[in-house]
A and B are shown apart, each in its own frame.
Chain A
């Protein structure tokens, strides 16, 4: 139910009426079905589960979350921990 990993869409094409793509998981490339992320662009990231992209990975959200966390928790010896 859960093993979904992020990968970069490096190619898209149609096969048997389905939108498919080549997704690069950081060195391993596999064909994945992109019907559930129909607006995905080359170079964007998706979460792939059993050969299907189930969600686009929002780099904006990812960036913002990480930055917010880093701001609070990496500097904690200087500022002190804050509420989440």
Chain B
């Protein structure tokens, strides 16, 4: 398709890669913070074609991976109720809670349904007035306008048997948490293209300034990804601190105003726990008081939830870019997509799953730039 294949033009990508190789004179560590970009890098094999000295690390850009364990367990408890039709994006069904996942709830007779759009969940509520329909509203800013519209519509249409289980997270606070953490080695950032389609990128220059980290708003096709890296590396080499937009066809500085307005009307910021990382202040959104009646956590009393993570899983360190999956002793052995220990192995764009799917053999792992040790710069 026209606006996709152009950005997979092999000749152009190779030309840009060559430029990247020639531009780098020192080692640099660059982080991308979008699960979709992690997936794309590995799926197209771009990570293997990068300069040896460029260390690409993956941030906590997978909303599936960072949804707190307690919330997964709550989702499972709610979904297990007879009166509930639990609706969710497909990614969430296999994420392990303490004891099981939403898939197994379905296998045991629970009514768990995958929806493509949050509006489908509202329709299910309209079609089933005698049931309670809960929608698992996960995501970053990209997904927030869609999630929020579901509850706005439900309220407007008087669909009272609908509620949201909210797990919205925001990128800028996560960037602060990573860049401000002790031992941070990230020197450049690829800003997530579709998050910026919604929010614009006006939030990033202050962050770039504060930490001295240049950034490029980056898309998702091979050409976009290499272009973003080239931008950041060039700025690093020049000592320039700025935020560039390498995804101008879909991102403006201001972002999507109608979407931002609806978000401001529906959500308010709150602290949020990120699975594997901990609480990041102001890093989430919750429903405003006007919509409290549609908050599934308030509507359903699911009792005391005792959540317990696997002791072996190092997803937190991976999400912070401090380790790569191949450094985990359980990777590929006790932890695989078929029996995952943590969320990063389950979600198809979690770093561990991406590595497992695309990089597993030792030969290809050593060829890829992703086995570089920590702290080597």
Contact between A and B in the complex (any CB pair below 8 Å): yes
A residues neighboring B (CB under 8 Å): 1-6, 16-18, 25-27, 33, 35-38, 45, 47, 49-52, 54-55, 57-59, 61-62, 65-66, 69-70, 72-74, 76, 81, 83-84
Q: Which residue of chain A is the closest to B171 with respect to CB atoms?
A: A1
Residues in B with CB closer than 8 Å to A36 are: 145, 256, 258-259, 262
Q: A54, B142: Cβ atoms under 8 Å?
A: yes
Q: B6, A76: Cβ atoms under 8 Å?
A: no
Q: B259, A49: Cβ atoms under 8 Å?
A: no
Say how far B164's CB is from chain A's closest CB, in angstroms.
14
Say how far A39's CB is from chain B's closest CB, in angstroms.
10
Q: A33, B117: Cβ atoms under 8 Å?
A: yes
Interface SS of chain B: helix
Say how far A32's CB is from chain B's closest CB, in angstroms.
8
- A71 CA to B121 CA, complexed, in Å: 47
A to B contact number (C-beta, < 8 Å) = 147
Q: B18, A65: Cβ atoms under 8 Å?
A: no
Query: For the complex, is B227 an interface residue (Cβ under 8 Å from A)?
Result: yes
Query: For the complex, is B338 an interface residue (Cβ under 8 Å from A)?
Result: no
Q: Which residue of chain A is the closest to B61 with respect to CB atoms?
A: A1
Query: For the complex, is B231 an interface residue (Cβ under 8 Å from A)?
Result: yes
User: What is the total number of residues of chain B having a CB less than 8 Å from a CB of chain A?
Assistant: 58
A-B contact pairs, 20 of them (CB 8 A): A2-B37, A2-B192, A4-B197, A6-B3, A26-B2, A35-B258, A36-B145, A51-B116, A52-B146, A54-B256, A55-B256, A58-B250, A62-B3, A62-B249, A69-B12, A73-B19, A76-B15, A81-B22, A83-B234, A84-B231
Further pairs besides A18-B149, A51-B146: 10, Cβ < 8 Å: A2-B35, A2-B192, A4-B250, A16-B153, A26-B2, A33-B146, A45-B3, A52-B146, A54-B146, A62-B6
Q: B249, A49: Cβ atoms under 8 Å?
A: no
Query: For the complex, is B336 an interface residue (Cβ under 8 Å from A)?
Result: no
Residues in B with CB closer than 8 Å to A65 are: 248-249
Q: A69, B227: Cβ atoms under 8 Å?
A: yes
Residues in B with CB closer than 8 Å to A35 are: 149, 258, 262
Residues in B with CB closer than 8 Å to A69 are: 12, 15-16, 223, 227
Say how far A44's CB is from chain B's closest CB, in angstroms.
11
Q: Which residue of chain B is the closest to A55 with respect to CB atoms?
A: B197
Q: B119, A74: Cβ atoms under 8 Å?
A: no
Say how far B51's CB is from chain A's closest CB, in angstroms.
14
Digit string of B105-122 for contact with A (CB within 8 Å is 1, else 0)? 000000000001111100
Query: For the complex, is B36 an interface residue (Cβ under 8 Å from A)?
Result: yes
Within the complex, which residue of B1, B36, B118 is in contact with A26, where a contact is CB–CB below 8 Å?
B1
Say how far B348's CB is from chain A's closest CB, in angstroms.
10
Would A2 and B3 be within 8 Å (CB), given that A18-B153, A49-B194, A58-B248 are in contact? Answer: no
Instruction: Specify which of B2, B16, B250, B259 lies most central, judged by the most chain A CB atoms within 10 Å of its CB.
Output: B250
Q: A6, B4: Cβ atoms under 8 Å?
A: yes
Say how far A65's CB is from chain B's closest CB, in angstroms.
6
Say how far A42's CB is from chain B's closest CB, in angstroms.
16
Q: A47, B1: Cβ atoms under 8 Å?
A: no
Say how far B133's CB is from chain A's closest CB, in angstroms.
16
Would A66 and B248 be within 8 Å (CB), given that A49-B142, A83-B234 are in contact? Answer: no
- A28 CA to B239 CA, complexed, in Å: 46
Q: A2, B12: Cβ atoms under 8 Å?
A: no
Within the complex, which residue of B18, B118, B141, B145 is in contact with A81, where a contact is CB–CB below 8 Å?
B18
| Interface hits, B241-280 → A, CB 8 Å | 248-251, 256, 258-259, 262
Within the complex, which residue of A26, A50, A54, A74 is in contact with B117, where a contact is CB–CB below 8 Å?
A50
Query: For the complex, is B11 an interface residue (Cβ under 8 Å from A)?
Result: yes
Q: Which residue of chain B is the closest to A32 with respect to CB atoms?
A: B117
Say how far A21's CB is from chain B's closest CB, in angstroms.
13
